[in-house]
Amino acid sequence: MQIEPTPEIDLGGGGMRTRIVSMALLAVFGAIAIKGLTVALSGPGEIVTQVVNTEAPARRADIVDRNGGLLATSVTAYSVFADPRAIGDAALIAGELARVLPDLDVERIEARLSNKARAFAWIERGITPRQRQAVFELGLEGIGFREETRRAYPRGTLAGHLLGFAGADGQGLGGIEYAMDDRLTSDPEPLFLTIDANVQFSLEAELSAAIGEYEADAGAGVVLAAQTGEVLGMASWPPLDPHQATSLDRDDPARLDRASNAVYELGSVFKPLTVAGALDAGAIRPNDRFDVREPLRIRGQQIEDDHPIVGRPTSFEIIADSSNIGTVKIAWQMGTRRQQEFFSSLGLFSRSPIELAGSARPLLPEKFDELYSATASYGHGIAVSPIAFASAFASLANAGETVTPTLLMAPTRQRSPKRVMAAPTADLVVRMLRKAVVDGTGSRAEVGGYRVAGKTGTAEKPIAGGYSDTENICSFAAVFPADSPEYVVLIVLDSPKAGQDRGRTAAWNAAPTAGRVIERIAPILGVEPQFDEPVGSTPRVRSVADRRGTTL
């Protein structure tokens, strides 16, 4: 039998490959062994602190006043997080963090770190660079950082309600920050507001002083440019610090913007509007006289004046001496339907179109019958926001035209005024308002040189089951300068108290507050003082500042 020869095996090339593979495996295992030895000797030093700098969200645009003054901006901040799976003793780590982050809720953070099912947990957001460095130097296991942006409001509480605030993730949550959120996140250019920071500061300062001086519970104020509708100042008290807004309880009084988000029965500041509507409709003439000697009774309700008025007053005296009876009789001459239509044309039956999401709707009577027509004529039974009323009142200063109130500067904006009364009617009512300051209930609002025209308003404060006998909503609505009106000022005080030398009606509190505001802002706005009074006018004082602390 023939045997096939065995094929020759090439041991040269195959042996070389085997040796190469063996050497590679030895190198891998050697590296592993060295790494293990290193960890055993020095501990897990490379995973002590995770420094994670994720890409920060897009920067929100700055918010500035009409002159470019900075009101809100974005700044770099850091947030601390943890991976609970890499945490050893949760209580120990929480305690160490609390040493450098004093506001930390230790129990809450310990609970978060103890949950090993989570891979991520926030420790604290929005810390300073110094706090970040302090945490880093603790060298704690499983702790990391994230770079973010935070909103900063360099002027503190100034215009706090108007500006609103943003959340930890940069989203707008209130005020302009919320209303203009898309604009602020999509366009890096600064957002210009119509407010003047100096006017705003003056308004807030005098409002705060009035709250203290008259022991009021709260208040609001508006300064408006009558021809353009631009809001130059809008304030609410208690003030709001946007930096602290997210930590406040939902029912905290500081959260409510009383200038736009609240409504009030403002009282007799409505009387000039009632008179304007009746004059413009031809229902009365300026020299018509009205018998106001006897109270009126409508559906069992009695309407009377706070103080007797001598003689048969014209509409000039009815405004100056604030007669409820006279105003109701003027409203009767006008008629309920025309009164409703006129108030509606002024925007008093709808929410203000100001660029704030929380702009409040008015509270109106279910049925505008004879009784409600009468009470609405002097500002009772109808509750509106201060910004809505200021806009309506501005028609008197704007030759009978209303304009939409705005907080946003827009140089190319097309004005869309709506005529609600004839220019001579508006001019005549402003003259009535001037008389109310020179010779009537608004005398404490007079400011030497600036020709204030305005009206007091005192309304019993609504309470459960009716109206309070001891608390009022006091207001003063003014236009100035009276001979060429440009600006509207409205002050509203909630429950001011009587004092040893003063009453609790608007003549004693809201009127002098408005005067002090005008005295401060008129020079800022470039209004030139003029001390020549029209014939027959005898202002009682030259300056509101002279009256502070007097017994008038």
Three-class secondary structure of residue 70 per DSSP: strand
Among 420, 354, 433, residue whose Cα is nearest residue 175: 354
Among 393, 303, 407, 404, residue whose Cα is nearest residue 355: 407
- To 10 degrees, the CA torsion angle through 454, 458, 461, 466? -120
- How many residues in total does the chain contain? 552
**Is 453 within 8 Å of 485 (Cβ atoms)?**
yes
Among 266, 320, 317, residue whose Cα is nearest residue 445: 320
Residue found under tokens 């008629």: 335
Among 151, 152, 147, residue whose Cα is nearest residue 185: 151
Cβ neighbours of residue 22 closer than 8 Å, sequence gap 6 or more: none
438: part of which helix (H) or strand (E)? helix 423-438
Residue found under tokens 């100035």: 480
**Is 476 within 8 Å of 467 (Cβ atoms)?**
no
Distance CA 140, CA 50 (A): 9
544: part of which helix (H) or strand (E)? none
Three-class secondary structure of residue 393 per DSSP: helix
Among 508, 519, 424, residue whose Cα is nearest residue 481: 519
C-alpha dist (Å) from residue 179 to 163, 219, 346, 355, 425: 10, 23, 24, 7, 37
Give residue 459's Cα distance to chain centre: 24
Q: Which two tokens stand for residue 412?
A: 């190319």
Q: Which two tokens stand for residue 374?
A: 């009468």
Three-class secondary structure of residue 550 per DSSP: coil
**Is 177 within 8 Å of 62 (Cβ atoms)?**
no
Annotated catalytic, 268?
Answer: yes
- The 10 Å CB-count burial string (b at 16+, else e) for 416-432 is ebeebbeeebbebbbbb
- Which of 74, 260, 268, 385 is catalytic? The answer is 268
Give residue 59's Cα distance to chain centre: 23
Cβ neighbours of residue 21 closer than 8 Å, sequence gap 6 or more: none
Catalytic positions, written as ranges: 268
